[in-house]
Chains A and B, each alone.
Chain A
Amino acid sequence: MTRTLTALSARRRHPLAVVVLIALALLLVGGLYAAVAPRDAQASTSAASADDIEAGKKLFLANCATCHGLNAQGGNVVEGKVAGPSLIGVGAASVDFQVGTGRMPLAQSAAQAPEVSKIRFSQEQIDQMGAYIASLAPGPAVPTDEELDVSGVSDEQLARGASIFRTNCAMCHNFAGKGGALTAGKYAPDLTDTSAKHIYEAMVTGPQSMPVFNNNTISPEDKTAIIAWLTQQEKRPDPGGLTVGSIGPVSEGIVAWIAGIGILIGCSVWLGMKSS
């Protein structure tokens, strides 16, 4: 018994060993996290100057705060509905997408915010608002030029992008990115004229009904490949002729009935006219 205790005491750790161990473990975990964690988490506050943030805040207060709250904390609940969601942590990418596609500021409440061709802000103003929102809490950053550069995408990568699109996106946006209906008047918009930057931002921020595809779900390279497939129409030719909207058999049926049967009945009438 005594011998056992002595042996134990001989191997007893220094009282501070636990503290040192915990400190080391924390350092390791923190270091690993910093190294491995999605880039988004540490994004976007650095580049913006304090002036930009200040200008962005002014624009925010003038144009967005009515619904999103004076501190972007979200609007008040009116008749069971939140006027506007909290923008803390949505990142500059959200601002760039929502304002840059004209969806925000929202003209009126409807099933979902429609894309509007008239953009109310300059890109500089949008960037300033983005900087302000990003300064509140980390969030997805506006994609860099390398992330949007599709020139280096090989055919195999493009095919992989197309395959990922079919698995994750086509169920709402249709096989050709032409969009489709969702429930209760909501819809997945047509992607054919959407810019590479906005497609990328939509994937990382998940606007409206769309899920978020962060960099763990779809890697930045795959996102670039998807964009390459979507935006390079010349790389996915349609050798069959007119695509009649690329919406599947519904338009084909309409063509068969109107053009096919219509012309043929016309011909029958023409052939049958002579005697009667």
Chain B
Amino acid sequence: MSTIDKVAGGVGNFADDTVGASKVVNGFARKIFPDHWSFMLGEITLYSFVILLFTGTFLTFFYEPSAAETTYVGNYAPLAGQHVSEAYASSLRLSFDVRGGLIMRQVHHWAALVFVAATIVHMARVFFTGAFRKPREINWVIGAILAILAVFEGFTGYSLPDDLLSGTGIRIAQAIILAVPVVGSYISFFLFGGEFPGQDFIPRFFTIHILLLPAIMLALIVVHLMLVVVHKHTQYPGPGRTEDNVVGFPLFPVYMAKAGGFFFIVFGVIALIAGLVSINPIWAYGAYDPSPVTAGSQPDWYMGWLDGAVRLMPGWFEFNLLGFTFSMNIFIPTTVVILFTMGVLCLYPWIEQAATGDRREHHLLDRPRNQPTRTGLGVMALTFYVLLWISGGNDIIAHMMGLSINDITRFLRVAVFVLPALAFVITKRICLGLQRKDREKALHGRETGRIVRLPHGEFIEVHAPLTEVERWTLVQHDSFRPMEIEDRLDAGNPSSLYGKVQRRLSKFYFEDRVEPVTPAELAASHHDHHGEVEGGHHDAVDAGNNPAIGTSQTLHG
């Protein structure tokens, strides 16, 4: 035994004796994770959060959270002798005079943009594959809260350098707070310690940005990941994959290597962008001063949808009542939209549960086409979201494309209602079409493109039957029917209000559907094809023994 082995053994024994390390290490090392690229989207989020913690810590060493006035004496000539805040001066010093400061700031900001973007993409994956279903509803809610916290975390960070753009952003945030009926002005005075802007908001936003929100987010991320371990990871349907197992590779060594490598890929890509592309050039924006505003004042992209909503809202939603001003033109597109979105997002797992009346646990994911209504709703929400983004950049679009900003706004005011509805219908139809194609493939096999002329002169295209493995994925899924046709055990009492709502929902979700292939249909199709297809193809599958088809049948509640 070499010295190294001895030392390693000693350390291992000590860890095992004192904290029972072997159980933990053993349990985690053998933890199985399924393999799919879309399961790595959440990892992008996690890794960019880690990068944010690293770079953010570095930035706090040099940043001065103070609104005290100072004279800029640094190297950047166009700001020479300007009266600026300590926060702004220290951000410039950090950028120009601290070695590696600018790249750290840019990595931090780019990582923030990628972090929130990856959050949205990860949420979309979870939504479209139905990974939020029982028992993961709570983890979905935690994820949704993390997403909105990420947005606020990003916004408070964007506000700290105290440059012209961030000050404009805070002014708008203050307007949003002021527009909250009755209590708005009190909250604003409380948050800013008096009139806007005052001296207090920079140190307060700093504490919120580096302590409060990151601590809450870190805690929620830990719970989020622990629940992934507790619930075990979901997996895509396939042969051998059931609701009771996880097919994949162990954490050690496969995923340690993959995840570790992926962390460096994420870090590398963000560092590459940060090294090449400028972000938030605070020196160009100049110091914050409440009087000027620059053209193209936009928030970072994750706030863009709210900015877009405000830009679409007609001004006449403001009215006076009992001596108070109710700025519904600001309140509705901001606070109400956030609360509504968060409400629907958090409640969605239960909304769908009501529609399906399905209280079973689900560890196998849905293929999005097999849930046409859910997929349609998701695309509808994303269309709405993207249209609000476009509205948030309406001035940039108008300027770049030589259009009238008024025309863009008028168009979007209509489009924001019409296009999402259209997107819902189109997506649902595409899903149903894909399901029909799946049925066709399962029943008649794959088109080979080979045309055969039969003795009596008829031309047919030869279809090659699928292998069992290929067919499994196409036929394994459960199909829900509206409760009017087929009441489920879990459904509520039809005469109660909940029962009625549930039945309406069920009808909305499952009225249009394509049933998966049943073993009987498959057997029948083989019988039909017997004469058409060359012999020897059809015997590959015996419908009666097909476990996939057997499963799909037993799942019909």
Residues of A whose CB lies within 8 Å of any CB of B are: 111, 155-156, 158-159, 162-163, 166-168, 170-176, 178-185, 187-188, 229, 235-236, 238-244, 246-250, 252-253, 255-257, 259-261, 263-265, 267-276
CB-based contact A242/B277 at 8 Å: yes
Name the 10 nearest CB pairs between A and B, nearest first.
A180-B295, A240-B278, A253-B301, A272-B37, A256-B113, A185-B404, A181-B398, A268-B40, A175-B294, A170-B294
- Residues of chain B within 8 A of A111, CB atoms compared: 404
Q: Which of A188, A236, A240 contacts B106 (CB 8 A)?
A: A240
| B78/A188 in contact, CB under 8 A | no
Contact A159 B79 (CB under 8 A): yes
Q: A156-B80, A250-B298, A257-B117 are in contact. Are A276 and B281 (CB under 8 A)?
A: no
Contact string against A for B residues 254-297, beta-carbon threshold 8 Å, 1 for contact and 0 otherwise: 00001001100110011001011111110111100101111111
Q: Contacting A162 at CB < 8 Å: which of B37, B286, B394?
A: B286
Interface residues of B, dominant DSSP: helix
**Docked-complex contact A159 and B262, CB < 8 angstroms:** no
B residues less than 8 Å from A174 (CB atoms): 294-296
Contact B40 A271 (CB under 8 A): yes
Docked pose: A28 CA to B283 CA in angstroms: 49
A187 with B399, Cβ < 8 A, contacts A181-B295, A256-B117, A260-B269 known: yes
**A-B contacts, 15 listed (Cβ < 8 Å):** A159-B77, A159-B80, A159-B81, A166-B164, A167-B292, A181-B395, A236-B77, A238-B284, A243-B278, A249-B280, A256-B113, A256-B301, A260-B117, A264-B266, A268-B38
Q: Are B269 and A181 in contact (CB under 8 A)?
A: no
Q: 1/0 per residue B296-335: CB within 8 Å of A?
A: 1111110010000000000000000000000000000000
Find chain A residues with CB under 8 A from B41 CB.
265, 268
For residue B36, which residue of chain A has the nearest CB?
A: A272
Shortest distance from the beta carbon of A137 to any chain B beta carbon, whole Å: 34
Closest CB in chain B relative to A115 CB, distance in Å: 12
Q: With a 10 A CB-CB cut-off, give which of A185, A250, A256, A267 has the most chain B CB atoms.
A: A256
Cβ contacts under 8 Å, A187 to chain B: 398-399, 402
Determine which residue in B38, B39, B405 has the highest number of CB atoms from chain A within 10 A of its CB, and name it: B405
* B291/A252 in contact, CB under 8 A: no
User: For B338, what are the chain A residues with a Cβ–Cβ distance below 8 Å?
Assistant: none
User: CA of A247 to CA of B394 in the docked complex: distance in angstroms?
Assistant: 13
Main secondary structure of the interface of A (DSSP, over half): helix
Interface residue? B152 (CB, 8 A)? no
Q: Is the CB of A264 within 8 A of B269?
A: yes
Q: Which residues, 362 to 421 on B, are CB-close (under 8 Å) to A?
A: 392-396, 398-399, 402-407
Interface size, chain B (Cβ < 8 Å): 73
The contact string, 1 if C-beta is below 8 Å from chain A, for chain B 58-102, is: 000000000000000000011111100000000000011000001
**A143 CB → nearest B CB, Å:** 22
Taking a contact as CB atoms under 8 Å apart, the answer to whether A252 and B262 are in contact is no
Q: A159-B78, A260-B269, A269-B37 are in contact. Are A184 and B296 (CB under 8 A)?
A: no
Complex CA gap A76/B35 in Å reads 76
Whether the Cβ atoms of B258 and A271 lie closer than 8 Å is: yes
**Assembly CA distance A89 to B82 (angstroms):** 38
Known A240-B106, A244-B278; further 9 A-B contacts with Cβ < 8 A: A156-B81, A159-B78, A162-B78, A185-B406, A249-B304, A250-B301, A261-B114, A273-B37, A275-B249
Q: Which of B35, B269, B294, B403 contacts A248 (CB 8 A)?
A: B294
Contact indicator B78/A180 (Cβ below 8 Å) = no
Nearest residue, chain A, Cβ from B118: A261
For A274, the chain B residues whose CB sits under 8 A away are: 35
Q: Is B165 an interface residue when CB atoms closer than 8 A count as contact? A: yes
B44 at the interface (CB under 8 A from A): yes
Cα distance, A246 to B393, chains bound together (Å) = 14
Expressed in whole angstroms, the minimum distance between the Cβ of A264 and any Cβ of chain B is: 5
**Is the C-beta of B110 less than 8 angstroms from some C-beta in chain A?**
yes
Picked from A185, A253, A260, the residue with its CB within 8 Å of the CB of B270 is A260
Residues of A contacting B249 in the complex (Cβ-Cβ under 8 angstroms): 275
A270 to B36, CA, bound (A): 10
Q: Which residues of A contact B407 (CB under 8 A)?
A: 185
Contact call A229/B78, Cβ cutoff below 8 A: yes
Question: When the two chains form the complex, which single residue of A162, A239, A263 contacts B96, counting CB atoms closer than 8 Å?
Answer: A239
Q: Are B37 and A246 in contact (CB under 8 A)?
A: no
- Measured between beta carbons, the chain B residues less than 8 angstroms from A252 are 113, 277, 279-280, 300-301
